[in-house]
A and B are shown apart, each in its own frame.
Chain A
Amino acid sequence: MKNKNDSKIMSAARVVGKQISLIVLALLFATVFLAVSGYEPFAILNGITESLTVDIAGTIRWATPLILSGLAICVTYKAEVFNLGVDGQIYMGAAAATAVAVIMPESMNHGVSVVVIFLTAMAAGAAFAMIPALMKVYLGTDVIVSTLLLNFVAELFIEYLVTGPLKSPEENMNMNASKVLNENTWLPRISFLEPSSANIGIYIAIVLMLFLTFVFFRTAFGHEIRIVGANPVLARYAGIKPKKTILQVMGLSGAIGGIVGAIEVTAVQHRLLAAFNPDFGFDGIVVSLLANNNPIGVLFSGIFFGALKNGGINMERITDVPSAITDIVTAIIFIIISAKFILPKIRNPKMKKVRSSEGGK
């Protein structure tokens, strides 16, 4: 028994080691890239180090939406549903949150109004995710393309809201935004991290992470997700309904996306801004893939990308290094993950003997 646990720890360590070497590789690329283009080569490394030490607050601010987006992604990817529409779900969650917050009377109890806002945002995100999910289930439409297109629809819908129905009544405002929300609708920030906009959304992220870990590994639903993802034909044959599972995971993913939108509106911006979302949904894909779609891993991977993002922003403020370098690092990690050569299937050498009867295949 002890032996088995040891080998499990070993193989987990191997996975983590691989992912870390992947990060190192990408950072190395970026450092060389900076040097070649005549910037301070260690700017990006300094930025990350700073983010993980003195400016942990900034990191938490960025890590919160990234972890949540990563969770929204990993729910669907476990079931092999390639949902690229988390960004759209975030937008819709934000729109719903704002719409409710705007009409929420100032006298409303703080806790109640925040809960109502978040539930509405979750419902809106889930409902928006149902569009591609239903298209997939009833028409067989590829989720990848439909979600990509719906992202643009959602983004333009927000633009419409903040230039139209939800436009701030303030005069001479040259930004597309709603009015500032009443304080009783704000999701509290973490007081000891002020003045950063780091907020209690990080606790929501951690609770959700634990919840999903439990769902994946300890519930019948988690087992169904795994089987549908591994082989939908097997699922059908065994009496699991893959269509139902697809709808469930998309709904769950959409609800989590909605939470991201609500957090950005009620805790960070305190208003709805036209382009408040710097593609958290796409970053969520990297966050989740780097973590092998494991919720616990998503937490750490989300913190890393939060630090990277925060480091990039800080770096741009102090030095002349463009923060776009962080997007390049993310993209490099992304493309390396896509290649199978970095992550060969981990197979126990002991098992090779058993296979030998298949030698001629």
Chain B
Amino acid sequence: MSIAVITDTLASMIRMATPLMLMALGGLLCQRAGVFNIALEGFSLVGAFAAIAVVQFTGGSVWAGLLGAMVIGAVYSSLYALFVTKFKADNIIASIAMNMLGAGLTSYLLRTIFNVQGAYSPDEIHKLSMIKIPIIKDIPILSCLSGQSIVTYFAIIMVVVIYVVLFKTKIGLSICAVGESEVAAKTAGIKPNLIKWQVVLMSGALCGLAGAYLSTISVSQFSEDMIQGRGFNAFTAFVFGNAHPVFASLVTLLFGFADAIGIRIELLGMNISPSIIKMFPFVFAIIALMISSYTSKLKKLGVIGNKKKKEKTA
């Protein structure tokens, strides 16, 4: 394989990983605060739709679309936040309901607002230009980092920001405390529900942006099945990445790589069914899931990772 092909594949990996990264970041914030959030799929779908709608109504502004998707994603997720805090809803069931509601609402609004079924492209869309980073763009292989969209760079910055917030700030400590033990956090004067609201809204905004990336940057249309299980892959990514922003993002790159390889195979015209190729990221995710549960089981059994052997029986 030539260097150009490798660079190309890596660039495509980063493009594929961007929405997963955003979703995973949102999901892991929730996870840290003890909110089980598999509604990433639904949040993103709403975001993808919102972005296209805003683009249409602002005469083609993708910027407005991205921003609108974040806002509407957060607004949509507030319903989930309301149910998990105020009504003490079962997180799993409420999540699935949010996914289902997202699918129903977008399909309904597609008919109602745009009077089409299945998919819609806005009349006019001013695509964002990709950002070329000087110097890096001329380094072989590393140049895959250049020429990405603003959202990709935003996602990478968010990895760092969320890392710092989680592990170096007061609010991060509060988030982790709520996830560890709500009662105990309460006795320390923290309001668990307030924390949960914050992380869920944050995940809504991040997923909204992820959806907008798919509908306004990857392609220029909204279609009903556009998230295609990415939300669940993102979920697996942060589970595998131990809810750590850096590790989780690296896992999303792995999934992105599976996608990119699939595209490569298709381009090369190898005789593999596209359906099988589309399976790659899911199979990857299942393997990742198996590995992560196996290692955590070993860890529990003390076979690996017990750095401090001195642990007292308590």
Contact = CB atoms under 8 A, between A and B. Distances in A.
The reply to whether chain A is a binding partner of chain B is yes
B297 A140 contact: yes
Given A159-B275, A282-B100, A330-B100, A152 B92 contact: no
Nearest to B90: A338
Contacts of B93: 285, 289, 334-335, 337-338
Given A157-B275, A334-B97, A341-B87, A144 B92 contact: yes
A330 B100 CA distance: 8
Interface string B103-127: 1110110011000000000000000
A141 B290 CA distance: 7
Given A139-B297, A160-B275, A322-B108, A145 B232 contact: yes
B275 A142 contact: no
B276 interface: yes
A82 interface: yes
Contact of A149 (B83, B236, B278): B236
Most chain B CB neighbours (cut-off 10 Å) among A140, A150, A157, A160: A160
A335 B94 contact: yes
Q: Which bucket holds chain B's interface residue count?
A: 35 or more
B75 to A, nearest CB: 16
Contact of A84 (B96, B101, B279, B285): B96
B250 interface: no
B119 to A, nearest CB: 14
A328 interface: yes
Contact of B275 (A141, A149, A156, A334): A156
Secondary structure dominating the interface of B: helix
Most chain B CB neighbours (cut-off 10 Å) among A142, A156, A330, A334: A156
Interface string B268-297: 000001011011001101100110011011
A145 B275 contact: no
Contacts of B239: 142, 145
B311 to A, nearest CB: 21
A339 interface: yes
Most chain A CB neighbours (cut-off 10 Å) among B79, B93, B296: B93
A153 B229 CA distance: 10
A322 B107 contact: yes
A320 to B, nearest CB: 8
Contact of B96 (A145, A328, A334): A334
Contacts of A148: 38, 229, 232, 235
Contacts, number: 140
B98 interface: yes
Contacts of A84: 96
A339 B92 contact: no
Given A140-B297, A153-B282, A157-B279, A324 B87 contact: no
Contact of B290 (A139, A282, A328): A139
B224 to A, nearest CB: 9
A284 to B, nearest CB: 11
Nearest to A162: B275
A331 B107 CA distance: 13
A135 interface: yes
Contact of B293 (A139, A150, A326, A332): A139
Contacts of A282: 96, 100
Nearest to B79: A335
Contact of B87 (A140, A157, A339): A339
Nearest to B42: A331
A111 interface: no
A218 to B, nearest CB: 29
A331 B112 contact: no
A249 B77 CA distance: 34
Interface in A166-195: none
A196 interface: no
Contacts of A141: 289-290, 293
A348 interface: no
A163 B293 CA distance: 35
A282 B232 CA distance: 15
Given A145-B239, A282-B100, A335 B278 contact: no
B289 A145 contact: yes
B130 interface: no
Contacts of A145: 38, 232, 235-236, 239, 289
B88 interface: yes
B100 A340 contact: no
A153 B279 contact: yes
Given A149-B285, A156-B276, A339-B88, A331 B100 contact: yes
B89 interface: yes
Nearest to A151: B229
Contact of A331 (B101, B283, B286): B101
Most chain A CB neighbours (cut-off 10 Å) among B90, B228, B282: B282
Contacts of A277: none
A167 to B, nearest CB: 10
Contact of B286 (A82, A150, A159, A160): A150
A233 B307 CA distance: 29
Interface string B212-236: 0000000000000000110011011
Nearest to A82: B92
Contacts of A340: 87-90
A106 interface: no
Interface of B: 38, 79, 83, 87-90, 92-94, 96-98, 100-101, 103-105, 107-108, 111-112, 228-229, 232-233, 235-236, 239, 273, 275-276, 278-279, 282-283, 285-286, 289-290, 293-294, 296-297
25 contacts: A139-B294, A142-B293, A146-B289, A148-B229, A149-B236, A149-B286, A149-B289, A156-B278, A160-B275, A160-B276, A282-B96, A289-B93, A325-B104, A327-B100, A327-B101, A330-B100, A331-B100, A331-B104, A334-B93, A334-B96, A335-B89, A335-B93, A335-B98, A339-B89, A340-B89
Given A156-B282, A328-B104, 8 more contacts: A160-B276, A322-B112, A327-B103, A328-B108, A330-B100, A331-B101, A332-B101, A334-B96
